[in-house]
Structure 1
């Protein structure tokens, strides 16, 4: 630390005796030994930077893994669509024929209800599959950072006017 001073002092002690004193000073404080504080601070800063870099890399790897998983799940759901459509068609045909056989008397009420339940289960599974597809598409867009591009931004004034 560098400090400087300058001053002037006028003195009159007796009648007719005056003196002027001028003072100039510079003070420099340099620690001869600081216990390695500066080196420790630099090393700590470098360690903090390394830690932050590792955290960023870890987050990148985690996001990459989650994105790949979401994409694989989305592909699986899309491949199930055709199988579910075939299952619904087969269940519908089975239900129609079971109902006709029930009307003739060769099938029981249990058989009819069981066939109808299989049809409803297939339709429910298709609905769940469709919902999952939408969720995974939005998850994938979010993970890619493109979800906000699809939604128009509204100002607070626009929201309040609605």
Structure 2
């Protein structure tokens, strides 16, 4: 990392460095169906850590990579996790992408789409519960909520 620019002489003739914020970007939030807390996360704590090695992101690029959500088969069904650059899972992977914003989870293993692009039942159920419209596909953020007429 480059040192901060000099801001002029400081005490005892030593150069003084200007203060820079370390990280001003908001922490990414984790959303799960039915308002559940992601596995391994205390309520309210939203830290990024690799599921496999447990390491937090070491730099801004790693933070961007670790903000990707992976949907893996867990003991109680599909589970959202994050991986660092060195630890992603192997096997079939489907990048489910919202047609409007381009965001979406990476579906892994038995949750990945078949060669004909059909999604397995557990994946469809989880995505629907999370608010996805699968006819698009459209993520919960990009499609208007169903409104009841008054």
Same fold flag (TM > 0.5): no
Whose radius of gyration is greater, 1 or 2?
1
TM-score, with structure 2 as normaliser: 0.22
Which structure is higher in helix share?
A: 1
TM-score, with structure 1 as normaliser: 0.20
